[in-house]
C-alpha cells in the first residue's frame, strides 16, 4: 500500500470517528462565531455563480453546512457534494433529502472520477491542509471548466489552536 493510500485511509477513519463522536458540532458551524464564519464564506463563494446553469462541485462537504445554504438558494443546475467521510455524508443526505439537484459522493480528492472540464465552480472549506495539495490541485484543475472558478477557505495555521490540533493529528 502506498503512502498516499495509507494517508487516505487514516484521514477517512479520523473523520468518520470525529463525526460519529461529535456530529455536526465538531465543525463549529452551530456556534455564533461559526454561523457568522459560514455566512461570510457562503456569501463569498456563491457570488461566483454567474447563472442558473452552473454545475458545482463541493469538496469536503462534511455534514453539509455549505451544501444546505446552496440548497436554500437553489441557483445552480446540479450540485455534487463530496466528502471522505461516510458518516458525514449520511448526515448531509438526511438533511437534504428533498433536493433533487444535489448528489452526494464519497471521494478521494487526489483521484477524482469526473470528466475533464466538467464543473463551473469548485469549492471547499478547511480541507486542503488534509490532503496532498499538489495531487488535489492537479485534479481540481483537471475537472474545472475553462473559465471556471475555484474557491477554497483554509484555517489560519499560525493560530495556536489550529496548529496544535493539526500537529497532534499527524504525529
Domain residue extents for the chain: 3-170
Pick the CATH number of 3-170 from 3.40.1390.10, 3.30.70.1450, 3.40.50.150, 3.40.50.1000: 3.40.50.150
Q: Output the pTM of the full model.
A: 0.84
pLDDT in tens, 121-153: 999 988 887 787 888 899 999 999 999 989 888
> What single string gives the DSSP state of each residue in 64-102?
THHHHHHHHH--SSEEEEEES-HHHHHHHHHHTTT-TTE
Segments of the chain scoring below 70 in pLDDT: 26-28, 48, 50-53, 156-171
Amino acid at each position: 500500500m502506498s503512502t498516499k493510500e495509507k494517508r487516505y485511509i487514516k484521514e477517512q477513519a479520523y473523520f468518520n470517528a470525529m463525526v460519529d463522536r461529535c456530529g455536526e458540532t465538531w465543525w463549529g458551524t452551530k456556534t455564533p462565531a461559526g454561523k457568522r464564519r459560514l455566512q461570510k464564506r457562503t456569501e463569498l463563494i456563491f457570488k461566483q455563480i454567474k447563472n442558473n446553469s452552473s454545475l458545482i462541485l463541493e469538496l469536503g462537504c462534511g455534514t453539509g453546512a455549505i451544501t444546505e445554504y446552496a440548497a436554500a438558494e437553489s441557483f445552480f443546475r446540479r450540485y455534487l457534494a463530496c466528502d471522505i467521510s461516510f458518516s458525514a455524508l449520511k448526515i448531509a443526505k438526511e438533511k437534504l433529502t428533498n433536493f433533487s439537484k444535489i448528489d452526494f459522493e464519497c471521494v478521494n480528492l487526489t483521484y477524482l472520477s469526473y470528466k475533464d472540464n466538467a464543473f463551473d465552480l469548485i469549492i471547499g472549506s478547511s480541507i486542503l491542509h488534509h490532503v496532498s495539495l499538489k495531487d488535489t490541485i492537479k485534479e481540481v484543475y483537471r475537472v474545472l471548466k475553462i473559465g471556471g472558478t475555484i474557491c477554497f477557505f483554509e484555517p489560519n495555521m499560525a493560530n495556536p489552536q489550529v496548529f496544535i490540533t493539526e500537529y497532534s493529528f499527524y504525529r
